[in-house]
Amino acid sequence: GIGYARGRFVGLDEPVIPIEDRAHQFGDGVYEVIRVYGGKPFLLQQHLERFWRSAKWIELQLDRSLQELQELIEEAITRAGFSEAQVYFQLSRGIVKRDHAFPNVPSHLSLTVRPVNLKKWEKGKEYGQHMILVEDIRWKHCHIKSLNLLPNVWMKQKAIDQGADDAIFVREGVVTECTSSNLALVRDGVIFTHPANEHILHGITRRFIMENAHQIGIQVREETFSSDALYDADEVFTMGTMSEILPVTKVMDTPIKTRYKEKQSITYQLQQLLREA
Ligand code: PDD
């Protein structure tokens, strides 16, 4: 893979970021993850717009225009030369002596391009994911793609330690999302997913499904549901840039019905829809 930091392209192991970067001292910044298919970034514009919104919400000024950022991303993809890749980029509030108040220094953009490990998701596609339920201990601005991911990484590890694949966040009895993907359930041929408010990240894969499910004759409803509803669902699946659409086959040791391998399952049809796009 390749990197970009402090205004130039670098090797991924080059020590280019000083100790006093607010991204790693405070988690003071925002980020995005984009999937590259066949050398082309998928839904790039939507990711750029969300990045811009995330930055604005925390009063963080971009150090360049979105057009310039797009050109940088495209150049990085070309330089890296991978056809299947992940582009990660983040904006830190800057490199400056540690002080809680916002400093008056330029923000700092860094980026990586790495090849995608397709094997990583094969197991989930084949067997589905096993999930644990955890309390959503995150803050009330989950729509901001903030660098602060402690609850997410902590709960992901907790799931793995318990022999599961990932964790589903539950806030006051309501299912919100997973540690790095959104969640939906299918009941009587209708998809239900948590409304796009401040309790979830407004996922771009989720939005793709909301905008395209009608192509397979399916309706999507943005409605909250309880963790109990997962056990009664016909299908449960996750949505995310890297994991795409993955079936959930077990929640806390209870199997979910999901007949995801059957071609008529909605999960399978949505996977095909995303693949085609
Ligand atoms: N995660 N919810 C959370 C908490 C996420 O971190 C993500 C993405 C999503 C799905 O959003 P999208 O469809 O736009 O990728 C939902 C990225 C991939 C990550 O942190 O690696």
- Structure confidence by residue, pLDDT tens digits, 110-163: 999 999 988 888 888 888 999 999 999 999 999 999 999 999 999 999 999 999
**Does ligand 1 come within 6 angstroms of the Cβ of 110?**
no
Give yes or no for residue 36 having a pLDDT over 80: yes
* Residue minimizing CA distance to atom 2 of ligand 1: 181
Is 135 found in the same domain as 227?
yes
**Does ligand 1 come within 6 angstroms of the Cβ of 151?**
no
Ligand 1 centroid distance, CA of 166 (Å): 13
The whole-number average pLDDT for the span 87-111 is: 98
Q: Please name every residue paired with 236 in a beta bridge, in sequence order, or none if there are none.
A: 185
> Among the atoms of ligand 1, which is closest to the Cα of residue 207?
13
- Residue 125 sits in which domain range? 121-276
145 is catalytic: yes
> Among the atoms of ligand 1, which is closest to the Cα of residue 182?
16
Give yes or no for residue 76 having a pLDDT over 70: yes
**Does ligand 1 come within 6 angstroms of the Cβ of 247?**
no
Is 125 found in the same domain as 105?
no
Is 250 found in the same domain as 157?
yes
Is 211 found in the same domain as 101?
no
Is 261 found in the same domain as 195?
yes
Q: What is the mean pLDDT of the chain?
A: 96
Residue to substitute in 181, 199, 204, 245 for testing ligand 1 pocket (most ligand atoms within 8 angstroms of CB): 181
User: What is the domain-level CATH number for residue 12?
Assistant: 3.30.470.10
Is 171 found in the same domain as 242?
yes
What residue spans of the chain are helical by DSSP H?
22-26, 44-57, 66-80, 119-127, 150-161, 204-212, 227-232, 266-276
Is 159 found in the same domain as 79?
no
Q: How many CB atoms lie within 10 A of CB 115?
A: 14
Looking at this predicted complex, what is its ipTM? 0.98
Is 69 found in the same domain as 160?
no
Is 241 found in the same domain as 165?
yes
- Contact yes or no for 121/246 (Cβ under 8 A): yes
